[in-house]
Amino acid sequence: MGIRIDKYLWAVRIYKTRSLATEACRNGHIAMNGMALKASHEVVEGEIYDIHIDQMHRQVQVKQLLGNRVGAKLVGDYLTDLTPQEEYDRIRIARQYSFERRDAHTGRPTKRDRREIEEFKYK
């Protein structure tokens, strides 16, 4: 008997919890050859999975099976990340410009600062 895809994705630290991995499968975020996988899909060495996490599209290949969660340094022994560098760059840039940023330890904006920010944003 093999290992389930939800357990494997949790064990190699793609998802923080197994229930998040199961939900991702249920919502069609885990695919192989263009077809969505169920959480009960048995992992086979050499298979390539397409994983959608938030706005990122990752592609990983199974090197070796495992049943228990491993440390972050050991993930490379069980998984090959085939995600192109352009995808990581796109996400890094999107995060950089997608939300407001304030310098650390500057405190909350004053009422005057807030009004200036809103005027700048909405006019």
The CATH number given to whatever domain includes residue 19 is 3.10.290.10
Choose among 50, 54, 30: nearest CA to 40.
30
Residue 1 has a pLDDT of 67
The predicted pLDDT at position 98 comes to: 61
Pick the closest to residue 121 from 107, 94, 100 (CA basis): 100
pLDDT digits (tens), the chain, 123 positions: 689 999 999 999 999 999 999 999 999 999 999 999 999 999 999 999 999 998 889 999 999 999 899 999 999 999 999 999 999 998 888 777 766 777 888 888 899 988 988 888 777
Domain residues for the domain of 58 are 5-122
The answer to whether 31 touches 37, Cβ cutoff 8 Å, is yes
CA distance 123 to 107: 25
Query: Cα–Cα distance between 81 and 97 in angstroms, integer?
Result: 26
The residues, ordered by sequence, that sit 6+ positions from 77 with a Cβ below 8 Å of its Cβ are 63, 64, 70
User: How many domains does the chain divide into?
Assistant: 1
Note the pLDDT of residue 118: 86
